[in-house]
Amino acid sequence: MAELEVPLSSKKKIALEKMCEQELGPNQDPQVMSAIWLDATGKPILFYFGQRVVDQGSGETLDLSEQYKGRTQKDLDSYMENNPKADIAHDGLNEKLCRIYQLAAQALCSDMAPNLRMDRTRHEGVNVMQYDAPAQSQTHDLAANDGEDIGVDDGMKNHPAYESDLSNSGVQEYERAGVVHLVHGWIQQGQPEKGLFISGDVSRSSSSLAATGSYYALTQDVADLLAAMFKVAFPDWYSRYREAFDAGVWIPNDTGPFLGRAIIYKLQGRLHRDRHDLGPSACFGVGSYIGGAMKIPQLNAKLAYQSGDVCIFFSSILYHKVDTYFPTTQSQEEKEQKITPGRIGSVFFFPKESYEVLKDKDSVFQLVRKR
């Protein structure tokens, strides 16, 4: 891994970006199968929790150049055709957990408008996601038959920065995209001596604090599962995070051990690495979308990274990019349930500087800090 930690020249970064478009572009089918990537010394640097044929794991170590062999969706489909009794397991978050997480994150970003990203380092494109929604239902048309152009956004009026207009076949809708950071303890920029502060998004208002607590409570099962995956994947890092988390946790509905979460709400991704994160981070996307593959050019890896697939990896060392995603058309049912399509990405991480403050503190640190 040491060779990966060396900062890259801008020329090399451009080469990685090119690789994302070419070798890892549309002609390369993504891998769908779960796998572990090792560094030159045999230490794991990336775990991909995707799909797996039950009892068929070979356990063999492949060269990076062979990583796609037998591991794409086509390969999986043809295997299942020839082995109809085989079972496929999904190693990531199941559909139910994905839906719960999607609802919790959507509610959070409704109460706490996500921050618009103007920089081009991590996220690309505009801060608005456009998607297609069904035309008005009959019931609604009846209700709106007073001739006014109202009700296009029926039931969705509480959504942040929500706009809509009529089109022939349905409705074009727009939703605000951006980032929310929930971190129990962060240093102020360049001022570690001042100690840790809860992230500004959480303390923005009383309703954002309440929304954060509610989001943590609703996503406890997801957090617990990610923690279990992390513990198996990187047991030493798990212990380090757990100890520091217990000293730094502020809102008790979060079960840890990651001190921070970034919710990347409906944004498109760019090639980057998370330089301020300590060790491995856990990342996943949920929602209704197509595309959104995870590309890690230093490993020549393109992963399907479908809703619920999880990557746990050294995101501060490995450059990564979530490929362009396209929101699916909102179904009538989703419209009625006020669920918007598109991709909600989440990164569970531990900030490097926060760890430095917390690593030798015991769990009463918070009590001392509050004085």
Site residues (vs Fe ion, CB under 5 A): 274, 315
Structure tokens, 145: 């038959």
Answer yes or no: are the C-beta atoms of 197 and 7 closer than 8 Å.
Answer: no
Closest to Fe ion by CB, 68 vs 314, is 314
- Cβ density class 74-96: b for 16+ within 10 Å, e for less: ebbeeeeeeeeeeeeeebbbeee
CA distance readout (Å), 361 to 82, 182, 243, 244, 303:
56, 21, 9, 7, 38
Q: How far is the CB of 98 from Fe ion (least distance, A)?
A: 20
- CA pair distance 198, 250, nearest whole angstrom: 8
Q: How far is the CB of 305 from Fe ion (least distance, A)?
A: 12
Q: How far is the CB of 122 from Fe ion (least distance, A)?
A: 7
**What angle, rounded to 10 degrees, do the helices at 95-111 and 220-233 form?**
120
Q: Which residue is nearest to Fe ion (CB)?
A: 274
* C-alpha closest to that of 96 among 104, 86, 88: 104
Closest to Fe ion by CB, 256 vs 269, is 269
3-state secondary structure of 356: helix
- CA pair distance 136, 141, nearest whole angstrom: 6
In which region does residue 292 sit, left (phi positive, over 0), alpha (psi from -120 to 50) or beta (all else)?
left
One-letter amino acid of 332: Q
Closest to Fe ion by CB, 171 vs 262, is 262
Closest to Fe ion by CB, 243 vs 274, is 274
Closest to Fe ion by CB, 268 vs 315, is 315
Q: How far is the CB of 28 from Fe ion (least distance, A)?
A: 21
Q: How far is the CB of 282 from Fe ion (least distance, A)?
A: 11
CA distance readout (Å), 165 to 94, 112, 343:
35, 24, 22
Q: How far is the CB of 338 from Fe ion (least distance, A)?
A: 29
Structure tokens, 260: 């921070």
Closest to Fe ion by CB, 127 vs 315, is 315
Closest to Fe ion by CB, 102 vs 315, is 315
Between β-strands 123-124 and 88-90, what pairing exists: parallel, antiparallel or unpaired? unpaired
Q: How far is the CB of 30 from Fe ion (least distance, A)?
A: 18
Q: How far is the CB of 60 from Fe ion (least distance, A)?
A: 30
- CA pair distance 127, 177, nearest whole angstrom: 5
Closest to Fe ion by CB, 185 vs 269, is 269
